[in-house]
């Protein structure tokens, strides 16, 4: 699995295109937006996991910008949907 932000995915896509190794590697896409509207499709058809929220878009000064909040937690946390993770997680659970 490759964990990468938008800039890295865009660079890989433009440099390698439909590469045999990258295109078969599950992608954990760190794109901190409420919707992904600019995914570079040159290498991957889609991402396996989408990390959509973090301290980048969710700060104590502007909690209204938080895409998702867990009651009782601080704003500087990364968020992934647990059920979605379980369904697409490419590794065996032991």
Per residue in 26-55, pLDDT (tens digit) is 999 998 777 889 999 999 999 988 887 666
Task: Indicate if the pLDDT at residue 94 is higher than 60.
Answer: no
In a domain, 94, yes or no: no
In a domain, 49, yes or no: yes
In a domain, 93, yes or no: no
Q: What is the pLDDT of residue 34?
A: 75
- Confidence band of 64 (pLDDT split at 50, 70, 90): confident
- In which domain, by residue range, is 36 found? 2-88
In terms of pTM, does the model score above 0.85?
A: no
Q: Which residue do the tokens 């937690």 mark? A: 73
Of residues 18 and 67, more confidence is placed in 18
- Chain-centroid distance of CA 94 in Å reads 24
Overall number of domains in the chain: 1
In a domain, 21, yes or no: yes
Give the burial string for 51-81 (b: 16+ CB within 10 Å, else e).
bbbbeeebeeeeeeebeeeeeeeebeeebee
- Confidence band of 78 (pLDDT split at 50, 70, 90): low
Inter-residue contact 79 to 54 (CB < 8 Å): yes
Query: Side by side, which strands form the sheet with 27-30?
Result: 2-5, 27-30, 49-51
């Amino acid at each position: 699995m490759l964990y990468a932000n938008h800039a890295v995915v865009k660079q890989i896509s433009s440099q390698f295109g439909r590469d045999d190794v990258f295109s078969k590697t599950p992608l954990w896409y760190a794109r901190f937006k409420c919707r992904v509207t600019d995914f570079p499709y040159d290498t991957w058809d889609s991402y396996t996991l989408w990390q959509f929220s973090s301290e980048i878009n969710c700060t104590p000064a502007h909690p209204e910008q938080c895409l998702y909040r867990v009651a009782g937690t601080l704003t500087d946390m990364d968020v992934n949907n647990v059920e979605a993770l379980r369904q697409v997680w490419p590794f065996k659970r032991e």
